[in-house]
Amino acid sequence: MAELGAGSLSLGDPAFNYQEHELNERLKRLYPAVNEEETPLPRSWSPKDKYSYIGLSQNNLRVHYKGHGKNHKDAASVRATHPIPAACGIYYFEVKIVSKGRDGYMGIGLSAQGVNMNRLPGWDKHSYGYHGDDGHSFCSSGTGQPYGPTFTTGDVIGCCVNLINNTCFYTKNGISLGVAFTDLPPNLYPTVGLQTPGEIVDANFGQQPFVFDIEDYMSEWRAKIHGMIARFPIGERLGEWQSVLQNMVSSYLVHHGYCATATAFARATETIIQEEQTSIKNRQRIQKLVLAGRVGEAIDATQHLYPGLLEHNPNLLFMLKCRQFVEMVNGTDSEVRCLTIRSPKSQDSYPGSPSLSPRHGASNTHLHTGADSPTCSNGVTPPNKSKSHSGTGSSSIKYPSVSSSASSSTSSSPSSVNYSESNSSDSTKSQPHSANSTQETSLSLNFRRNQTHVTRSSNHDSEMEIEAEHYTNGVVEGSSARIMNGTYKHEEILQPDDNSIDEGCTNGRQLCGGNQAATERMIHFGRELQALNEQLGREYGKNATHKKMLQDAFSLLAYSDPWNCPVGQQLDPTQRESLCSALNSAILESQNLPKQPPLMLALGQATECVQLMARVRSGSCSFARVDNFLH
Amino acid sequence: MLKSEVTATSRHYVDRLFDPDPQKVLQGVIDMKNAVIGNNKQKANLIVLGAVPRLLYLLQQSSSSLELRTECAVVLGSLAMGTENNIKSLVDCHIIPALLQGLLCPELIFIEVCLRCLRTVFISPVTPVQLLYTDPTVIPHLMSLLSRSQRTQEYITQIFSHCCKTPEHQTVLFNHGAIQNIAPLLISPSYKVRMQALKCFSVLAYENTQVSMTLVNVLVDGELLSQVFVRMMQRDQPIEMQLTAAKCLTYMCRAGAIRTDDSCVVLKTLPCLVRMCSKEHLLEERVEGAETLAYLMEPDVELQRIASTTDHLVAMLADYFKYPSSVSAITDIKRLDHDLKHAHELRQAAFKLYASLGSNDEDIRKKITETENMMDRIVSGLSESSIKVRLAAVRCLHSLSRSVQQLRTSFHDHAVWRPLMKLLQNAPDEVLVMASSTLCNLLLEFSPSKEPILESGVIELLCSLTQSDSPALRVNGIWALMNMAFQAEQKVKVEIVRSLGTEQLFRLLSDPDSNVLMKTLGLLRNLLSTRPHIDQIMSSHGKQIMQAVTLILEAEHSIEVKEQTLCILANIADGNTAKELIMTNDDMLQKIKYYMGHSNVKLQLAATFCISNLIWNEEDGSQERQDKLREMGFVDILHKLTQASDPNLCDRWARKEANHKTHGILIRCILIYILTT
């Protein structure tokens, strides 16, 4: 579309790439709630949606008039490539008048799809414009209303659409001119219209910094909406409101097996825990085993404590066994660990809080999309397995925060939550793998910190109780940073005197801990696993997920250094978490308890609501994001 | 409970303060503290019963325990929270020196309660702020206490911002390092501290160049203070903070420390203040916003233009006149009360802002007068009971009266002269100044209001203004008379002279204010125009006028004054009989000769005009006059001037002022006349 040739940028041009980068960054910052896969943002004028008298150049950002310009019948407009998404909340673009041409009959505004392009914006139904020659605003009418000053060559005119109250105002050279239109319909496109020869205007959809401080305007609305939420009337039954909150916290703690904290919380708030203490402790023990990589023991314990559970969940059993195989490769499963020379205690490495309370993920967390949600949780990466991840796409953003939560693993927060943990296999696949040296360093640092902590506090349960006092008023936030989920940091798991740590950090890892007998045991187990898969296939039909899982697990053996191979990611202890969560949910379900904590359901509900708001074009969703309230 | 019973209980509290057992006294004070909290009646009782001197005594007694002294200060602070009468009683009991003395105690907790109490006392309007400055050691000590705790910071800055009322106070605080000490508090973690520190800066910078100039260079944590203020104006900040930060920048800008085209003024401060005027804010905020905005843009036409297009400001201000609204009157008494209380303030703020907006730009004035019922509102504002509103309304009218178009149209249509004249009858000086200044514009020759004003007997009134002690009023009075006399009928002129009286006229010619002198000369010049008028006036007052002219030409005066005087002389020379007053006065002719050779072109021109009027040969006796002047050596001077009036010089004059082009031509004409006749 670069009709003018000169001055236009080609795709390979570094300047263009820079501008493109700037644009993406700015749009992301301005409109974080917009899902561009569903509703793309306008980034340029549309070469298809324009009148023939309009010429485009400079990456379809510059508009010039090429008609006769005899009278208003020669007016011509162009729309942007996409309508303004409601999820913007507040949308803004600017137009610089490069030349006013002969008469400066320029109109800047908005129009719906299908509005006649042989017109200036504002003259027709569902079309709105501010005209330079007289400074009038045109609201779907051929006659304008006095609105603002006139504008001409050199002026920068901005157009801001407020999708919360459906109004629009313009700016001239960074100064707001006040509301021009109210009751705007949805799905309007940025539009400009020209009418006389020589008129040229440039659009800025975010390619450049805006002259008007739109972010300041947005901050006002963000504050307004947050204030509205904060002051939302709760009604007469205040007591019930509090008890609802307490129950949510309590059930969350119970769900994840924070037994001591839950008990202390229940005592302080005088609430009742539905589940028996022993039951909670049992679940806690099983989770602890899974997270420690001792899956075999976990299976045994489950079978012992909850007979029939795994028999009724063959898929779960298969996943567990698969994991057990992986852990054998890892050298952490007890079946191989007892065969190795080293102290079994020294083997394991789950330094941080196992914290089934995973951190809340990025914006696209979904109630039922396991693949989207990061499975990583607090303090998950042990230093002697210090394989870090820098993922692609969305996970690349998430990972740095994993390391940060690892560094604070002694104080991970129960309020930082992820509620989509049941689907283990999907999340396994979603994890890309590549080494990242900087993260390695930070992780080993974290580890040392953890060590100190463990030596200091031998009795976690009592400490938990002290900490839990912070919960007494039923307020979840604030106290979160102080709470320790660290019930799993038992001495048996984490020994500070382990020499192998440093080795492990470098290249000391060996298949099955380097033990011949263990390797044999592993291979034998692999055969059993294969048999189980076939048996399941016969009984329940072929399962592609199972097949893939098994293939991936077996593939580990194909590499001399499984930790640094394309499927080595499986060995990462973070991979245990989703499985752990699935097992926990299965146990709870078998006890007729909810398999998801109500807190997670509420959070998922809220997230869904906000997304629904975007779809039904309620602009305030932009400033009511769940993320804003999770600290 | 009966009143006597109440007093009895109160009496008991006071009695316990005199117990010989210090432990019991302490308990007594604590009980008293609990008894007075939120109980204004109890507070009044205790004060009447003399609790204050005893509490102050205990507070100052070195033998008292720290706990007792602290509790005493707390009770005193509580008493201060009551009515204004309570504060008065406390101040009368010398609570301020006692508490200030208490600040020397090393114990932070005691310092804090003393400061808290002092704060409460000082923020009351009944407390004389001067009491803070009586002891010169107080301010430095307060500065040193700023580092002690967030509480001391909050209380001290609050005291400062309430007690800084005059330029002297500003200087005292400035000299004791207020800026350096308070600037870091702007980034305090405590909102209250930030807010009070900001308020401090707004009062310190107000109309103070020294402070403002210092402020622009102050860095807070590596950031320029103006940028800190800009951040405080962000739209998600509390309104109070936005508004106060905008005030700080406004004052810095008005003091010349920040340019009016600086982006922090144009893109931040001005829009912020315009926002404050919008309906969604509290009435108090809207008043303050409008007043500050008016002040910000008063001297700058570009800011006025920008503001006039920002967020429909001109239309937005119309809403200021809708209080109390008809809705509030019916539905909500409390609301009505609130609206009534602020209605005057709103109106005067809107008038002020309109006045500022319209002070230079013709288009903006048009926009203002076209706002719904604007002229009616001004007219009714002129006769409101509140002086503030009247003053602001007349300021607004004055601003709009600078428009020729408005004078011809809306001013006449709405007969604004009527309320204006009424206002002039009996008003305080500040209103009179504005009103008479407006009247000057209404009396301009093209103003259709001129006639009806004349008929309303304005001359007497204006003449009385010229006798005022205020130079501004004298100027306006004589100015209005000058405008009135311009191309006026004979009878008006006679009336002016009669009414003013020659004595007053000559008194004005020796007025110490040069503006008064200039306008008086202007009046004379306007009176002495058209031949019959000149002769008529000169025949009755010729002697005095010539005397006055001589005096002025002989005295030390500015070029403008002398030029104006020479112009009067030229007018006199235009008269038929009046001419002789000059021709027979050799001394005067010498003076004219002198000014024809003056280095200043304007004076040369005026003097030459005078001569040209004298020798114009279409009139009787021109020949004699020419002869006399030739004898006196005027021809030589004219010759010299002709030489000087070579094309180059003419050109130079022309460039200086278009008028002067005529000078050379004029001289040549005169010369030709003289030589040819």
ipTM: 0.81
Is residue A216 within 8 angstroms of chain B, CB to CB?
Answer: yes
Task: Nearest by CB to B235, from A149, A175, A219: name it.
Answer: A219
In Å, how far are A106, A150, A200, B307, B315 from A173, measured between CA atoms?
Answer: 16, 12, 17, 13, 21
Q: Choosing among A160, A169, A213, which should be mutated to test the B contact, i.e. which has the most B CBs within 10 A?
A: A213
- Are B123 and B165 in contact by the 8 Å Cβ rule? The answer is no
Long-range contacts of B287-290 (CB under 8 A, 24+ apart): B287/B342, B287/B345, B287/B346, B287/B349, B288/B243, B288/B247, B288/B349, B289/B243, B289/B246, B290/B317, B290/B320, B290/B349, B290/B350, B290/B352, B290/B353
What local confidence, expressed as pLDDT, does residue A459 receive? 41
Nearest residue of A to residue B235, measured between CA atoms: A220
Helices (H), B298-332: 301-309, 313-318, 326-331
Is residue A175 within 8 angstroms of chain B, CB to CB?
Answer: yes
CA distance A573 to chain B (A): 41
Is residue A217 within 8 angstroms of chain B, CB to CB?
Answer: yes
Q: In angstroms, how far is the first alpha carbon of chain B from the final one?
A: 113
**Looking at beta carbons, which residues of chain A come within 8 Å of B317?**
none
CA distance A221 to chain B (A): 8
Structure tokens that stand for B526 in this block: 């306007």
pTM for the structure as a whole: 0.73
Q: Do B306 and A175 touch (CB under 8 A)?
A: yes
**Looking at beta carbons, which residues of chain B come within 8 Å of A175?**
266-267, 270-271, 306, 309-310
Q: Do A213 and B267 touch (CB under 8 A)?
A: yes
Q: Choosing among A157, A176, A222, which should be mutated to test the B contact, i.e. which has the most B CBs within 10 A?
A: A176
**Looking at beta carbons, which residues of chain B come within 8 Å of A176?**
271, 310-311
Question: Residue B298: pLDDT above 50?
Answer: yes
Q: What is the pLDDT of residues B571-616, one digit of tens each?
A: 888 887 888 888 888 888 888 888 887 878 778 778 887 887 777 7
**Looking at beta carbons, which residues of chain A come within 8 Å of B234?**
216, 219
**Looking at beta carbons, which residues of chain B come within 8 Å of A167?**
none
**Looking at beta carbons, which residues of chain A come within 8 Å of B309?**
148-149, 172, 175, 177
Task: Nearest by CB to A178, from B270, B306, B312: name it.
Answer: B312
Q: Do B266 and A175 touch (CB under 8 A)?
A: yes
What local confidence, expressed as pLDDT, does residue B73 receive? 95
Task: Nearest by CB to B309, from A177, A179, A220: name it.
Answer: A177
> If we measure between CA atoms, which residue out of B392, B364, B368, B362 comes closest to residue B380?
B392
User: Distance between CA atoms of A501 and A443, rounded to whole angstroms?
Assistant: 12
Lowest average pLDDT, out of A45-59, B279-293, B545-559, B620-634, goes to B620-634
Nearest residue of B to residue A168, measured between CA atoms: B311
> Which parts of chain A sit beneath pLDDT 50?
1-9, 341-507
Query: C-alpha dihedral over A337, A338, A341, A344, to 10 degrees?
Result: 70
Nearest residue of B to residue A174, measured between CA atoms: B267
Nearest residue of A to residue B306, measured between CA atoms: A175
User: Distance between CA atoms of B368 and B360, rounded to whole angstroms?
Assistant: 12
CA distance B300 to chain A (A): 17
Query: Which DSSP helix (H) or strand (E) runs through A3?
Result: none
Q: Do B310 and A179 touch (CB under 8 A)?
A: no
Nearest residue of A to residue B239, measured between CA atoms: A220
User: Distance between CA atoms of A189 and A114, rounded to whole angstroms?
Assistant: 10
Angle value at C-alpha B250, between B249 and B252, nearest 5 degrees: 65
Q: Do B309 and A219 touch (CB under 8 A)?
A: no
Burial class (CB in 10 A: 0-12, 13-18, 19+), A18: exposed
Please report where in the chains the tokens 């245990």 appear, as a residue.
A576
Confidence of residue B617 (pLDDT cuts 50, 70, 90): low
Q: What is the pLDDT of residues A325-351, one digit of tens each?
A: 888 888 777 776 666 544 444 344 444
What local confidence, expressed as pLDDT, does residue B183 receive? 96
User: Distance between CA atoms of B470 and B460, rounded to whole angstroms?
Assistant: 18
**Looking at beta carbons, which residues of chain B come within 8 Å of A149?**
309
Task: Nearest by CB to B271, from A175, A179, A223: name it.
Answer: A175
- Are A368 and A559 in contact by the 8 Å Cβ rule? The answer is no
- Are A265 and A471 in contact by the 8 Å Cβ rule? The answer is yes
Q: Choosing among B310, B366, B367, B370, which should be mutated to test the A contact, i.e. which has the most A CBs within 10 A?
A: B310
**Looking at beta carbons, which residues of chain A come within 8 Å of B270?**
175
**Looking at beta carbons, which residues of chain A come within 8 Å of B306?**
175
The angle that helices B634-644 and B622-631 make with each other, rounded to 10 degrees, is 80
* More confident site: B478 or B620: B478
Tell how strand A62-65 and strand A175-181 pair up: unpaired
What local confidence, expressed as pLDDT, does residue A340 receive? 57
CA distance B313 to chain A (A): 8
Cis peptide before B324 (omega within 30 of 0): yes
Nearest residue of B to residue A169, measured between CA atoms: B311
List residues of B whose CB lies inside 8 A of any A CB.
234-236, 266-268, 270-271, 306, 309-312, 316
Q: Do B310 and A217 touch (CB under 8 A)?
A: no
User: Distance between CA atoms of B176 and B345, rounded to whole angstroms?
Assistant: 36
Size of interface A-B (CB pairs under 8 A): 38
Structure tokens that stand for A41 in this block: 């943002």
Task: Nearest by CB to B310, from A176, A220, A223: name it.
Answer: A176
User: Distance between CA atoms of A546 and A543, rounded to whole angstroms?
Assistant: 5
What local confidence, expressed as pLDDT, does residue B649 receive? 44
What local confidence, expressed as pLDDT, does residue A180 receive? 96
Q: Choosing among B236, B274, B302, which should be mutated to test the A contact, i.e. which has the most A CBs within 10 A?
A: B236
Q: If contacts are CB pairs under 8 Å, which of residues 98-157 in chain A contact chain B?
A: 148-149
Question: Residue B393: pLDDT above 50?
Answer: yes
Burial class (CB in 10 A: 0-12, 13-18, 19+), B503: exposed
What local confidence, expressed as pLDDT, does residue B618 receive? 66
Residues 6+ apart with CB under 8 A from A134: A144, A150
Nearest residue of B to residue A150, measured between CA atoms: B309
**Looking at beta carbons, which residues of chain A come within 8 Å of B277?**
none
User: Distance between CA atoms of A383 and B342, rounded to whole angstroms?
Assistant: 68
Q: Do B309 and A148 touch (CB under 8 A)?
A: yes
Task: Nearest by CB to A172, from B236, B268, B309: name it.
Answer: B309
Q: Do B306 and A220 touch (CB under 8 A)?
A: no
Q: Do B311 and A213 touch (CB under 8 A)?
A: no
Nearest residue of A to residue B367, measured between CA atoms: A146
Q: Choosing among B309, B363, B366, B367, which should be mutated to test the A contact, i.e. which has the most A CBs within 10 A?
A: B309
In Å, how far are A491, B382, B401, B415, B443 from B408, measured between CA atoms?
Answer: 96, 20, 10, 11, 11
What is residue B593's three-state secondary structure? helix
Beta bridge partners of A54: A65
Task: Nearest by CB to A177, from B266, B268, B311: name it.
Answer: B311
What local confidence, expressed as pLDDT, does residue B457 receive? 80
